[in-house]
Amino acid sequence: MRTLLQAGNMNAIADKAERYKMDVVALQEICWKGKGLIRKSKFNILVYYSGNEDRQDNRGVGFIVSKKINR
């Protein structure tokens, strides 16, 4: 997957993580501005991310974490 900025790409990654029963998935160069937490209840995961505070660019990291291990 080239970018998470395109609609549906995060759901595609979350679907694969759930299908392969991955509890933690590392994301690189996510290109999102700022930092935060996204709850995806459909997939029972949390997405933690941190990017450039000033603008959207190729910097940034994130983690998809299964809710079963995030207590």
Task: Dihedral sign for Cα 12, 41, 26, 10, please.
Answer: positive
How many structural domains compose the chain? 1
pLDDT at 52: 85
Q: Is residue 33 part of a domain?
A: yes
Neighbours of 42 (CB within 10 A): 10
**Is the per-residue pLDDT at 68 higher than 80?**
yes
Write the pLDDT tens digit of every residue in 17-50. 989 999 999 998 888 889 999 998 888 899 999 9
Neighbouring residues of 35: CB distance < 8 A, sequence distance ≥ 6: 49, 50, 51, 53
Q: Is residue 4 part of a domain?
A: no
The residue segments making up the domain with residue 48 are 9-66
Q: For the whole prediction, is pTM greater than 0.85?
A: no
For all residues of the chain together, what is the average pLDDT?
A: 86
